[in-house]
Amino acid sequence: MEQYFHWIDLLGIAVFAISGTLAAWRNQMDGFGVIVLASVTAIGGGTLRDLILDAPVIWINNNSYFYAIFIAAIGTILAVRNRLTIPHNTLQLFDALGLAFFVIMGTQKALDNGTSAMVAIMLGTMSGVCGGMIRDVLCREVPMVFRGELYAVTCIFGGVVYTVLISVGVNTAVAMTVGMLALLLLRLAAMKWQITIPVFAKHHAELNEP
């Protein structure tokens, strides 16, 4: 099972690295910018989670995470260089896939470290969104988690599905798969039908402040 977790973790790392590379391409960054953006997107959330849990940071003693980042980044660069156009929602699609992997893996790691289900869901959500937040800040954009379609809500939903299944005795691998699919499908549905949680009405002029 530990080997299964490791491969799922690497897959999530690779998918988020692709997301970071696409963001670098969209912002016309150089090679160094690509590697930096791919890396922080891939390991930023997991690093923060591990520091909070006072657990060994995932990549400190395991070079396979960096191999996954480099392979994903180089593969994405080659794909982009050989294609004139990239669908405008490709970044969001890979970001959604990364969320599905990282949120559930982060929730599982928090549970393994003895946290409550609620704290595990919070840390799982943090694992999923923080790398993307760093990516968007470096690109001088409002982080995706704060705008547009459901984002953090889908992470919480996936974490809840996973922890509930675990609490009723469902096999861990099955619970992880269902949790990931639940998160991914809700995120994709939110993107397709533009489901949001509106707070402020849309406005087209500056607020008249005293």
Please write down the HEC assignment for all residues of 66-82.
HHHHHHHHHHHHHHHHC
CA gap 107, 124 in Å, rounded: 4
Split at pLDDT 50, 70, 90, the class of 196 is confident
Please write down the HEC assignment for all residues of 108-176.
HHHHHCCCCHHHHHHHHHHHHHHHHHHHHHHCCCCCHHHCCCCCHHHHHHHHHHHHHHHHCCCCHHHHH
User: Does residue 198 carry a pLDDT above 90?
Assistant: no
Model pLDDT for residues 66-78, shown as the tens digit of each residue: 999 999 999 999 9
What pTM value is reported for the model? 0.89
CA gap 185, 159 in Å, rounded: 14
Model pLDDT for residues 161-186, shown as the tens digit of each residue: 999 999 999 999 999 999 999 999 99
Average pLDDT, the chain: 90
